[in-house]
Amino acid sequence: MAVLDKINYPEDLKKLPLIELKKLSQEIREVIIKVVSENGGHLSSNLGVVDLTLSLHRVFDAPKDKIIWDVGHQCYTHKIVTGRKDRIFSIRKKDGLAGFPDMKESEYDVLNTGHASTSLAFASGMAIARDNNKEDYHIVAVIGDGALTGGLALEALNHIGQVKQRLIIVLNDNKMSISPNVGGISKYLNYLASGRSYIRLKEVVQAIFNAIPGIGKNMVEATRKLLAVLRTMMVPGSFFNDLGVKYIGPIKGHDFKEMEKALQDAKKYDFPVLLHVVTEKGQGYKPAKDNPRDYHSSAPFDVANGKFIKKTNKPSYSKVFGQTVLELIREDRSIIALTAAMPGGTGLDLVQEEFPGNFYDVGIAEQYMLAFAGGLALGGRKPIISIYSTFMQRAMDQIMHDITLMDIPMVVGIDRGGLVGGDGPTHQGIYDIALLRPLPGVVLMAPKDENELRHMVYTALRLKKPVFIRYPKEPGIGVPMDKEFKELPLGKSEILREGPDGVILAVGPLVYRALEAAEKLKTLDNIDLTVVNVRYIKPLDTDSILDGMNRKKTLFNKKKRIITIEDGIRSGGLSTLVREFLATGKVKNYSILALGVPEENIGVASREELLAKYHLDAEGIYAEIKKLFKKKKETAP
């Protein structure tokens, strides 16, 4: 009988002898590997924290004690042992378990997470609230070495060390963010984990004595004695201790006995402690252990050989973006490519390999990255950033205060703009248009396909302004790629189909879905529409709207029809821009159908399922427009 069969809740774990615990950890790894091989998901990180999670749930009493997972992508074992074992194969699927902690899903999920570095701030606030309420429970924040590079986490650490309330920080150090971790703190953690602080001290003391002329060699015995005393006085983790957070570690994160002893120990303190737990990403599955980056957010794969199951040979927008930046750097070395901890996901790893001097991975530091890019630009470099739409939200103040108000030139690729499958509400890229739209001087483009993306990056560099280019997480269309770059005239859209009955304005690759719908409307319903690839959401090509609306009169267009299609939040997005223009009075007697994402909390589903849900696939666009015209036809004279 599998040990997992008798585990449903944390109490069940507490009874297990060590031998069964080790067997359970193996069984859980097998489940995680199978689940991710089928559904896709965060493999490496989840395999890395199986033992840590089991230890936490054995030592603490959740849900009374609060265990907070930073980012939350590593929560699979936690979900398995907190009553969700039977649903684990539904993870990331429509109506299934969320891939991240979700308070609505379980009382064991203290916090909804997805964006990095929030755990310490929440833990700190909750600890103060607990103490104010005179309640008694433990608060444990589990944060990775990657998430600790985020400014928000460091701000929290700064405050936690000052207010000194009781809480436990478990630093899960696997030396990796998604890619190898970067920065001084990461180096410092490696130094602590290696136990080199004493060795280093020894080297320094010996070097000092040896450097004293004449007496150096004779002091060996004295040095030895001094080192013995210093060793007993040495406290590792001085950075944390000096901040006011007691450092405990390093602790072997796959050794249950050592971990549980350290966690029990941590419970005793009535001030903040940090347990430095060293784990290994991908533990238990060789392909993930050998290549933790590619299995970080993994596509489905064949368990037998670790090969990813490729659904298409069409290039992703991210890859095309990275390739384009690489080609541009070959011609112009003043270009600097920037990512905040996502070199692989953004395609900028191509630049990192060929031009490491023209590339910076700043860690999970989106705010810093934008301001840093501002500095590069003021100094005469040409920054090109790639950032996921959802994480760009973090850097909105830098975009406003530090970039657009000074009109500092840079190119920002907004990757995963629009509806994003799998990861759920925290990872949606649907707010970018609405956030950027009101900012003065900003140029915002969206390519209809991967070839146009190349021209946009090229054009953006030449505009010498803050330029944002938004593209989705889906395969490219598979169009042929132009060898030569060309400039796309600023603020000009592209008319792809002409018809007198109304005009569709579509954003990004939704243009192709709109074209498909328009063809079907013509063939089946004799509704003949103009289709415009918006290209520039800002500045918007209002001439194309006027042009599209002032065609010859037909049965359908007595009232002017305009349809906006965007996979972003409707309020504040393209539809709002168009409404604002129409409200100027230049167009009379119009009506607008705005297809986009309503203001609601989006559940977990694939991108295609979400597009269908919001009538943004070809079928949905067709049906919605047909409905609109049916209404019209009935009332037409």
**Binding segment (CB under 6 A) for ligand TPP, from list 127-135, 139-147, 508-516, 620-628:** 139-147
Helix (H, G, I), strand (E, B) or coil at 408: coil
Task: Output the smallest distance, CB 113 to ligand TPP, in A.
Answer: 8
Determine, following the binding rule CB under 6 A, whether residue 138 of this chain makes contact with ligand TPP: no
Kindly tell me which of 65 and 145 has the beta carbon lying closer to ligand TPP.
Answer: 145
Kindly tell me which of 3 and 49 has the beta carbon lying closer to ligand TPP.
Answer: 49
Kindly tell me which of 147 and 582 has the beta carbon lying closer to ligand TPP.
Answer: 147
- Tell me, rounded to whole angstroms, the distance of Cα 126 from its chain centroid: 25
Q: Does the active-site annotation cover 366?
A: yes
Helix (H, G, I), strand (E, B) or coil at 390: helix
Q: Does the active-site annotation cover 246?
A: no
Residue with structure tokens 């030396």?
Answer: 175
Kindly tell me which of 188 and 271 has the beta carbon lying closer to ligand TPP.
Answer: 188
Window 319-378: residues binding ligand TPP (CB under 6 A): 341, 364, 366
Kindly tell me which of 60 and 69 has the beta carbon lying closer to ligand TPP.
Answer: 69
Window 61-80: residues binding ligand TPP (CB under 6 A): 71, 73-74
Kindly tell me which of 78 and 130 has the beta carbon lying closer to ligand TPP.
Answer: 78
Task: Output the smallest distance, CB 77 to ligand TPP, in A.
Answer: 12
Task: Enter the DSSP assignment of 111.
Answer: S
**Binding segment (CB under 6 A) for ligand TPP, from list 140-148, 189-197, 451-459, 515-523:** 140-148
Q: What residues contact residue 291 under an 8 Å CB cut-off, 6+ apart? A: 282
Q: Look at the alpha carbons of 71, 73, 78, 79 in this order and tell me if their dihedral is positive or negative.
A: positive
Kindly tell me which of 152 and 335 has the beta carbon lying closer to ligand TPP.
Answer: 152
- Which of 281, 513, 560, 570 is the catalytic position? 281
Q: Rounded to whole angstroms, how far apart are CA atoms 424 and 297?
A: 14
Q: What residues contact residue 356 under an 8 Å CB cut-off, 6+ apart? A: none
Residue selected from 119, 177, 316, 428 as contacting ligand TPP according to rule CB under 6 A? 177
Residue with structure tokens 């609109």?
Answer: 628
Asked if the bond preceding 250 is cis, omega within 30° of 0, the reply is: yes
Cα angle vertex 540, ends 536, 542, to 5°? Answer: 135
Q: What residues contact residue 123 under an 8 Å CB cut-off, 6+ apart? A: 66, 68, 139, 140, 141, 156, 160, 167, 169
Task: Output the smallest distance, CB 493 to ligand TPP, in A.
Answer: 32
Kindly tell me which of 33 and 341 has the beta carbon lying closer to ligand TPP.
Answer: 341
**Binding segment (CB under 6 A) for ligand TPP, from list 170-178, 498-506, 535-543, 583-591:** 170-178
Determine, following the binding rule CB under 6 A, whether residue 288 of this chain makes contact with ligand TPP: no
**Binding segment (CB under 6 A) for ligand TPP, from list 169-177, 237-245, 327-335, 441-449:** 169-177
Sheet arrangement for strand 560-569: 494-497, 530-533, 503-506, 560-569, 590-597
Closest by Cα among 284, 281, 293 to 45: 281
Task: Output the smallest distance, CB 28 to ligand TPP, in A.
Answer: 16
Total residues in contact with ligand TPP, by rule CB under 6 A: 22
Q: Rounded to whole angstroms, how far apart are CA atoms 511 and 494?
A: 10
Closest by Cα among 469, 472, 593, 602 to 536: 469
Residue selected from 25, 37, 45, 283 as contacting ligand TPP according to rule CB under 6 A? 45
Q: Does the active-site annotation cover 281?
A: yes
Determine, following the binding rule CB under 6 A, whether residue 443 of this chain makes contact with ligand TPP: no
Q: What residues contact residue 284 under an 8 Å CB cut-off, 6+ apart? A: 26, 29, 33, 47, 50
φ/ψ of 48, rounded to 5, equals -70, -25
Determine, following the binding rule CB under 6 A, whether residue 508 of this chain makes contact with ligand TPP: no
**Binding segment (CB under 6 A) for ligand TPP, from list 57-65, 142-150, 522-530, 603-611:** 142-150
Which helix (H) or strand (E) segment holds residue 21: the answer is: helix 18-39
Window 393-432: residues binding ligand TPP (CB under 6 A): 394
Residue selected from 10, 40, 101, 144 as contacting ligand TPP according to rule CB under 6 A? 144
List residues near ligand TPP by CB under 6 A: 45, 48, 71, 73-74, 115-116, 144-147, 172, 174, 176-178, 281, 341, 364, 366, 391, 394
Q: Which residues are catalytic?
A: 281, 366, 394
